[in-house]
Structure 1
């Protein structure tokens, strides 16, 4: 029987477990033996590769994270460990892999293919939504809903005490989560690396709004601002308190954004991603590719295309938030 393995690599996100379940169920439907690679690239090197059963994936559709766990591995950059990983796959007659992760994971598998001819399909899975070539990555919708719920809750208490709140979202080099959350939650300020801003201009606006009856302020900032010479979360707190004159609290959401029950949208997209990935590998297509989602349609692109440019947030979205930075 033909065999295909699935693995998760890099940061986890909600939607990975629904993808894993669909992968296993659909492989059995196609008369293919599914395998689970545990602990990402580390498990691939160490040989933690097991044939999947229905029991392995029963009841995981609603769970966040990844049942087969994830990791990053510096060892995989060394040829001898990639060779070891390949020998582990050979023991199970596996020459096809579905990998859920980001562009770094795809590059690792692409090198693996060049070395040993293992075919693979990458499923974009990162809450940062920063992979070039696809409008949407698995896990983003769930992360946005986690942020929305937290921001709404913090706004409730801020309004009770006439306070400002600074909400820090994840997004290492990309402000997508902060941007969309600021728009969806009705924030007054949004600080992300992609938008130029002037605190003096924003401050004048906020002072006028407060004088005209505004009782609280919601400010959403991307964590990437710490590393992109933008104003950090604590600096925004100090600015709001000292310059604007409003009592302020900071909430750093952190890794809570990666967890939680996957939304219906993430569950559906995970199922579609996994199904098309298996079909692609069974079609006889050689090499490595990434499945992408654009304008409500799925397609496949090369790893070289994904790595050819840096992801940029659509101008239409940036335009929606420009009023929050002036």
Structure 2
């Protein structure tokens, strides 16, 4: 029996710990693990190798994915999926674990329907925007990187009585910005999920500055970049011209995807990988995603994951409402 693992789409901290646990746990159950390099593209190109303990030694503390990732348009064409299937057959592989997002899961679901290759998807994205799970692998590390950067920028902003606008990643989801604003004590939080009134915010900030505030921290989600007035540059201009405070912008970018995985992401990676292997061994037919809700691991269908758009829970949104008025 042979099982392979691959990473697809955007990388995140926590992937390497999951890969290491996958290999170690497979060996403990006398199963030959395989590594697929370069994601779905590597599956098509046949970049598939037997894994050894040496391959995964020293991976727990490393961010990103040592087996690399990709985004593949070719995989959505049947002729290339057929090539990928033939590549798996050469190694006797009929089971896959994939670390990725909903697009990667859809790709393997079609693969399952075409050729019956069983798989389990592990939600892995710093955006934390996959419907059906409260937690995605990598988000905790990303939040801690944002926290560290925000704390550092706040220090220099306070030294010069400045405002700072910090842009986080997250695509169209404001989760990273929202949680970071709450936990870093930001004065302003701009995310796509909440309506805001710059006039009200500006009036509040001016009053606070009169009453002794020495700096302002504004955290904005990259998903707001389509809005001229409230993208990062627009907020800098607004703070300087309307609020009347010197302002600097910091776009964190891909630094949020790297870095040493936190203890929590390492632990969750290990649990995700272990339960995924158990599931794929127990079910004759398996095309599921493992999710985490209310401190419990569950398995759901791809159709369920794709049935709705992820929404940040109301309790978190309510915590941030005072930062938008």
| Superposition TM-score, scaled by structure 1 size | 0.99
Q: Which residue of 1 aligns with 2:110?
A: 111
Whether the 8 Å contact between 1:164 and 1:247 is mirrored in structure 2 is: yes
List gaps (5 residues or longer) in structure 1. Answer: none
Residue 187 of structure 1 aligns to a residue whose secondary structure is coil
Whether the 8 Å contact between 1:192 and 1:221 is mirrored in structure 2 is: yes
Mapped to 2, the partners of 1:257 and 1:249 lie a distance apart of: 19
Map 1:126-165 onto structure 2 (within 5 A): 126-165=125-164
Mapped to 2, the partners of 1:296 and 1:246 lie a distance apart of: 44
Residue 71 of structure 1 aligns to a residue whose secondary structure is coil
Q: Which residue of 2 aligns with 1:284?
A: 283
Q: Which residue of 2 aligns with 1:121?
A: 120
Provide the alpha-carbon RMSD of the alignment.
Answer: 0.8
Map 1:297-312 onto structure 2 (within 5 A): 297-312=296-311
Whether the 8 Å contact between 1:193 and 1:228 is mirrored in structure 2 is: no
Task: Report the Cα offset of residue 114 of structure 1.
Answer: 0.4
Whether the 8 Å contact between 1:10 and 1:70 is mirrored in structure 2 is: yes
Mapped to 1, the partners of 2:190 and 2:259 lie a distance apart of: 25
Mapped to 2, the partners of 1:210 and 1:19 lie a distance apart of: 47
Q: Which residue of 1 aligns with 2:17?
A: 18
Q: Which residue of 2 aligns with 1:97?
A: 96
Task: Report the Cα offset of residue 227 of structure 1.
Answer: 3.0
Residue 61 of structure 2 aligns to a residue whose secondary structure is coil
Q: Which residue of 1 aligns with 2:258?
A: 259
Q: Which residue of 2 aligns with 1:236?
A: 235
Residue 127 of structure 1 aligns to a residue whose secondary structure is coil
Pair 179,72 (structure 1): closer, same or farther in 2 beyond 3 Å: same
1:52-95 per-position Cα deviation (integer Å, ceiling 9, x unaligned): 00000000000000010000011111100000000000000000
Whether the 8 Å contact between 1:193 and 1:230 is mirrored in structure 2 is: no
Mapped to 1, the partners of 2:228 and 2:314 lie a distance apart of: 22
Mapped to 2, the partners of 1:278 and 1:285 lie a distance apart of: 13
Task: Report the Cα offset of residue 226 of structure 1.
Answer: 1.1
Task: Report the Cα offset of residue 287 of structure 1.
Answer: 3.0
Task: Report the Cα offset of residue 228 of structure 1.
Answer: 5.8
Q: Which residue of 2 aligns with 1:59?
A: 58
Q: Which residue of 2 aligns with 1:82?
A: 81
Dislocated runs of 4+, deviation >2 Å: 227-230
Mapped to 2, the partners of 1:150 and 1:248 lie a distance apart of: 16
Whether the 8 Å contact between 1:173 and 1:224 is mirrored in structure 2 is: yes
| Superposition TM-score, scaled by structure 2 size | 0.99
Task: Report the Cα offset of residue 229 of structure 1.
Answer: 6.6
Q: Which residue of 2 aligns with 1:227?
A: 226
Residue 299 of structure 1 aligns to a residue whose secondary structure is strand
Mapped to 1, the partners of 2:33 and 2:117 lie a distance apart of: 16
Q: Does 1:42 align with 2:41?
A: yes
Residue 17 of structure 1 aligns to a residue whose secondary structure is helix
